Chain A
Amino acid sequence: MIAQALADGIFTGAIIALGAIGVTFTLEIMRFANFAHGELLTWGAYLALVVVAFAGPGTPTGPFSFGWQLLAAALVAAVLTGLAAWAVDTLVFRRLRRQGAMPLTMVFAAFGAALVMRHLILLIWGPQSHYYTRELQIAVELLPGVRVLPDQIFIVGLALAAMIALHVFLVRSRTGMAMRAMAESPALAQVCGIEVDAVVRLTWIISGALAAFAGVFTGLTPQLHPEIGFNLLLSLFAAAILGGTGSLAGAVVGGFLVGLAENLSLLVINPGYKGAMPFLLLLVILLLRPQGIFGQRT
């Protein structure tokens, strides 16, 4: 039982981590809590659905329920969602920044953006569930008593690969360094000749792309509906804050911890209360260690 919950937790955790990276970036580089981030997951999932509608999910390859077409769809969706995130910034958040709006005004704008983005999905695709593929999958017994779908293993692997690639990018490339500098101190970064607009653009594109992957993975196991992203929002915030905002490693570890906590809690609580788990975790973190696991006290 516990082993199964751990396996499920790692899988949920991988998805939460992908989304939490974007939340932590906006918290640290853009300096506001983006309540619209969940909608980027949803948009990513539905944009991939459009590609799949044209190209098909592909013939199931190996033990997986999908072919390369779904991966291509996820990539297209990642690019488009990244651009969409940047477009929302250009239309709303950047204008507010230019007007010298305070960070909390950005949060109000994010409320508005979230309402519009989520309900556009509802308007276009309707309230019913959608599926990428109708293939049925049989769980494999990974360890005695631990059953997972091959798709889930694939998703965890791909998520980890994306996180490692992002880490290398942040540590090695000049642009990555500029992003970290912005997170540390926007004013100082600007003095050093870092092009703030370019960093902001890149931050949105990366956040959006990772959110799209998280959304596609959620939709693959097993379905898409207009609230998949919004329902994860609290988990994303909890993961970002648990890890300590601004650090990639923090968001990733936070994501896995939140995923594990949610699934382990199901062993003792009524599943109906699962949605409250990230909140309880969040409350404990904020009271005991508000700077997060990897954060430094300011």
Chain B
Amino acid sequence: MLSYLVFFACIVLILGMLTLALNLQWGFTGLFNAGVVGFYAIGAYTHAILTAAPQPRYVGNFGLPWIVGVLAAMAATALAGWLIGMLTIRLRGDYLAIATFGVAVSIQLVALNWEPLTGGSQGLARIGKPLAELFPTPFGFNLWFLGLMFVLMATIYWALDRVLMSPWGRALKAIREDETAAVALGKSARRFRLEAFVLGSTLMGLAGALYVSFIGFVSPFDFLPIVTFQVWAMLIVGGSGNNRGALLGALIVWAIWAGSGVAVAKLVPPSHAAQGAAIQVILIGLLLMLVLLFRPRGLIGEAAVVSRHVND
């Protein structure tokens, strides 16, 4: 039970990192990224290709140290975010969503088809884990990984908080609320949007690298479009525009997902596992729609910010 809780907490923190990244893009900047899983996949595969144990069949599998993989994953996703952002960021809301959705579908296809590099549908195994040799038992490793995740999450949370309160963060909100006014004040809306998009993408890539270095293997079937919808459900349930909300949403949605998974496994015979999984997804979809209808701001919505000069 305890070992399951540790595993559960690690996954929640990784998904929470994705939700925080999406919150930066959507919640604070108003960028409708419907291709979250694509950036997550780029981070995951970059890390896997660089750190997996060498195998003659594959071009990659360089067996590099864990930290190199993580940093390269962030750099690769930042670059991808910048490229995709340059191409699409000026599109209006739902067109940006369609375009980024297409990006994610295409990235998954590359992961599935570029066999010499990605292992194709087989995926890649024996991916670099942080300090794995110091923690020989799976439970010990998971516990250490959980500690690492807590430290990383606390750092990112604190840094995002600082960044969003800084003039840069306030400019993001200003552009989201009233682009014309912000531009009139001399802020380049396009540049701020692109920066937020790249920063968010980088975080998604980090989450991807952490995910595969926790699990130890990478498979293209972990990066289907449904992940994007799950992360959106987390953000909306928790409350977009609020980082505490984003993390709470990740916890609640994943608890419902995992909890219903346990219930389904008990009640549904293994021959109908696909149907059982369908029930889990239906619950998430219903939750998303119910929150939109009855609590559109999410559980903890964005806090109203009033300038301290308002009464001057």
Name A's B-contacting residues (CB within 8 A): 27, 32-33, 35, 92, 95-96, 99, 101, 103-105, 107-109, 111-116, 118-120, 122-123, 126-127, 230, 234, 237-238, 241, 270, 272-273, 275-276, 278-280, 282-283, 286-287, 290
Contacts and interface: CB of A to CB of B under 8 A. Distances in A.
Nearest to A237: B98
Nearest to B240: A108
B94 A279 contact: no
B256 interface: no
A112 B286 contact: yes
Given A92-B293, A101-B292, A103-B93, A282 B112 contact: no
B122 interface: no
The 6 A-B residue pairs whose C-beta atoms are closest, nearest first, are A279-B102, A115-B285, A112-B288, A272-B113, A33-B94, A116-B285
A267 to B, nearest CB: 17
B180 interface: no
A122 B275 contact: yes
Nearest to A23: B98
Contacts of A237: 98, 102
Given A123-B282, A278-B102, A270 B233 contact: no
30 contacts: A33-B94, A33-B95, A101-B292, A103-B93, A104-B93, A105-B296, A107-B32, A108-B236, A111-B233, A112-B233, A112-B284, A112-B285, A112-B288, A115-B282, A115-B284, A116-B285, A122-B278, A123-B278, A123-B279, A123-B282, A126-B272, A127-B274, A127-B275, A238-B102, A270-B113, A275-B106, A276-B106, A279-B102, A283-B87, A290-B91
Interface in B266-297: 272, 274-275, 277-279, 281-282, 284-289, 292-293, 296
A127 B274 CA distance: 7
B97 interface: yes
A27 B284 CA distance: 25
Interface in B30-71: 32, 34
B279 A282 contact: no
Contact of B281 (A115, A270, A282, A286): A115
Given A107-B94, A286-B95, A92 B289 contact: yes
Contacts of A115: 226, 229, 281-282, 284-285, 288
Contacts, number: 136
A123 B97 CA distance: 28
A32 B94 contact: yes
Contacts of A113: 285, 289
Contact of A109 (B93, B275, B289): B289
A148 B305 CA distance: 64
Interface in B89-121: 91, 93-95, 97-99, 101-103, 105-106, 109-110, 112-113
Contacts of B284: 112, 115
Nearest to B96: A286
A112 B291 CA distance: 10
A275 B232 contact: no
Contacts of B233: 111-112
Contacts of B274: 122, 126-127
Contacts of A119: 278-279, 281-282, 285
B88 interface: yes
Contacts of B106: 273, 275-276, 279-280
B287 to A, nearest CB: 8
Contact of A273 (B103, B113, B281, B286): B113
